Structure 1
């Protein structure tokens, strides 16, 4: 820092700040004769959580999250970065668990210099089979599975003529849909589907073609949960070799947010996950929730942890999977959802810098604290009926006397209105033609301003 200050004195220059759009990212640059910082914000990877809004300089504000979650706006940035306020400290990158913000200092990734809010995961290679289950389940598409199972036709050799007879049954309540039996034998068919909460079942059902099955029993041997039972009643002479499963599971750390779904469902408990955040989700004012007409929280959740119940409680959260990022809270137009963070996990570089403790204090702001009470007032957009033509009275009323206090209050409110109208989010909504959203955003800003003069 001292060298940086001396550099300013020597060159007599202030940092040069610029911004640019590169593909689907905003790139902000902070340049001095001695240092170059590049902050990249990926619009595509941002999920609309409020983690980065712990910015000590208040350089980051909410974008049109409600409108984007509702599908009224597409490809809009869900946060706004004010380059005039930003000092490129990188705390936003420290807490971004979705890797949508990255910082480089003289070409070196800040993640190599600073601590980061991160989860942790590990795979026990000795326990791992491997199978397809975790790759089918992952809501972030962060897991890829390379699984090789030798086909049944190569493992079973018939020494005489005839047909096998027997019975085969699959207990679908026990089946974890790992996919090994389908890879092994063409007589087995799994009907895959998108996993959905609360059970995250990756398939609709599993079926066996009885005409193709020869009751060799190999599928029973590869099943990790003993869901398949085979009874061979009669068969021609044959030789059956043991099935072998090989392969590898790989995790893309840039996509993975350590939600823990893979560990929760792994049939052999080969995966261990430590979440980046611990917390709880409360559903307040549930009478306002309309899960039929509004899907905002379902649409925006990055790990698909919230779902409609179809019952009186309306919606529920799978706590074992939720990462407590807060995106659902920000996307709810009725303030039904409240996310409270109770703990976090920081990952430090091998050689932490001296100011690591200061960053730890900044991250601690994410932990539960006091929040302002909800407003007792609700904003409504009024459309008064105004006649097209009207006439002035013959005698105009006298101008009422206004006290100095009332005048000052009126000026204060006009200033608040002026500031609110200059909010980037409001201007973005107007640019996209979402007048209703702009009015709602303006009303929300004014309510906050009036509560905290």
Structure 2
């Protein structure tokens, strides 16, 4: 049976859970609506941002075991389909994009405000160079860089000859890569597989092959760090044109967690980032920390904001780009770390929605704040007593009887009582409500007594 809208009256939703393409997929389906919640295993870092679920449908998985390398590929959070209401709050708070809630195939996050930082690129200031792409911990930046080749910029009228000196201060060098693109014959950068804290330099060194260097000075002119010094002592006749740097920096917002590392290392001050959370990480049990035998927090941190110092401090946290997700706290087997979130940045909707205020209450729970009071407050209320007129109780009325009805009724009641005691079958019929059988037994009893 269904109503005019097609809703089947009394229909219960069908729940299912499956693993599809590396995602744990939960589906809630009725005749009118299908809701889906995908949890991408590879994107989840085992943080605590989704744990304040008001339905208690989300619990942590083997975060410590995964961080230590004992387990690989296991979901770091578990979602109970029987408790989940598919409200999408987990999607709204996850800065890693590990959750994806859809209603009838449409992404639900477009209708919800969510916790999210901001990332802006000033294209007028951006060179671009390779530095931000090299250091980004999530691979969310793609730099396309074109620099005029040195051979096309330096023209000799006769034989090529030059002598001089070139020095590179590697302490100043950020390894932006522009000099190598300009003159790959003379300059070689030894790139690392990844940029590591605390300085996040993407290379281990840079070398100049002076057999191929003519000391033109173009590399010095494009270096944003003032790390290259060139002195040409003499050369044959030549013309030198300034190099042009063109290209484009592409930002992939769906994978960026807005940690701000790119903005910190940018030599052109071309990037501006607002982090999703503000807060601090407290080291509360340093004596239990063993950074040589345990690397859990280093392994689990999605932005490499924590590293071993090699000193008595043991470990250090880079607050400039820590996003306070909580993964390090849950990965530590000795409770050394404690993450405190103090604020958050919300990506508002273009059009206000009625449920935004309620979702903000969840965001407050994510940073550890208690929910606001319900609006009911204790107060003292004095009530004046009301004088009511006393009503005299009426005299007890006797049972009005006519023609001996009361007397007959009492006799029948006594006979019924006697009959129930003597005859267990009648007692059973009476308890079952079979009054017809009981009346029949009473009549038979009366006839027997009259015959006697």
TM-score, normalisation: structure 1: 0.79
- Please report the RMSD computed on the Cα atoms of aligned residues, expressed in angstroms: 1.6
Alignment equivalent of 1:123, drawn from 118, 121, 124: 121
C-alpha deviations, 1:78-135, integer Å up to 9, x for none? 0000000000000000000000100011122111100111010100000000000000
The answer to whether the aligner puts 1:235 opposite 2:218 as a matched pair is no
Query: Take 2:8 and 2:77, find their aligned partners in 1: how far apart are those partners?
Result: 37
Q: Could you say which residue in structure 2 is the equivalent of 1:248?
A: 248
C-alpha deviations, 1:317-361, integer Å up to 9, x for none? 000010000000000000100000000001022123211110011
Query: Take 1:33 and 1:157, find their aligned partners in 2: how far apart are those partners?
Result: 76
Asked if the contact 1:122–1:272 (Cα under 8 Å) also holds between the matched residues in 2, the reply is: yes
Query: Take 1:224 and 1:130, find their aligned partners in 2: how far apart are those partners?
Result: 11
User: Which of structures 1 and 2 has the bigger CA Rg?
Assistant: 2
Alignment equivalent of 1:157, drawn from 155, 158, 161: 155
TM-score, normalisation: structure 2: 0.79
C-alpha deviations, 1:396-450, integer Å up to 9, x for none? xxxxxxxxxxxxxxxxxxxxxxxxxxxxxxxxxxxxxxxxxxxxxxxxxxxxxxx
The answer to whether the aligner puts 1:96 opposite 2:101 as a matched pair is no
Corresponding residue SS for 2:180: helix
Q: Could you say which residue in structure 2 is the equivalent of 1:84?
A: 82
Q: Could you say which residue in structure 2 is the equivalent of 1:20?
A: 18
Structure 2 alignment gaps of length 5 or more: 371-452
Asked if the contact 2:3–2:9 (Cα under 8 Å) also holds between the matched residues in 1, the reply is: no
Q: How does 1:36-435 map to 2 (within 5 A)?
A: 36-186=34-184, 187-193=186-192, 194-369=194-369
Query: Take 2:108 and 2:346, find their aligned partners in 1: how far apart are those partners?
Result: 15
Query: Take 2:287 and 2:11, find their aligned partners in 1: how far apart are those partners?
Result: 58
Task: Report how far residue 10 of structure 1 moved.
Answer: 4.7
Asked if the contact 2:132–2:266 (Cα under 8 Å) also holds between the matched residues in 1, the reply is: yes
Asked if the contact 1:7–1:33 (Cα under 8 Å) also holds between the matched residues in 2, the reply is: no
Task: Report how far residue 369 of structure 1 moved.
Answer: 4.8
Task: Report how far residue 6 of structure 1 moved.
Answer: 9.4
Query: Take 1:312 and 1:220, find their aligned partners in 2: how far apart are those partners?
Result: 40
Asked if the contact 1:115–1:352 (Cα under 8 Å) also holds between the matched residues in 2, the reply is: no
Q: Could you say which residue in structure 2 is the equivalent of 1:407?
A: none
Query: Take 2:3 and 2:156, find their aligned partners in 1: how far apart are those partners?
Result: 83
Corresponding residue SS for 1:361: helix
Query: Take 1:110 and 1:349, find their aligned partners in 2: how far apart are those partners?
Result: 12
Corresponding residue SS for 2:354: coil
Asked if the contact 1:164–1:234 (Cα under 8 Å) also holds between the matched residues in 2, the reply is: yes
In the comparison of the two structures, how many residue pairs are matched? 367
Alpha-carbon distance change, 173 to 189 in structure 1, aligned in 2, over 3 angstroms: same
C-alpha deviations, 1:160-186, integer Å up to 9, x for none? 114101111112222111100000002
Corresponding residue SS for 1:61: strand
Structure 1 alignment gaps of length 5 or more: 371-453
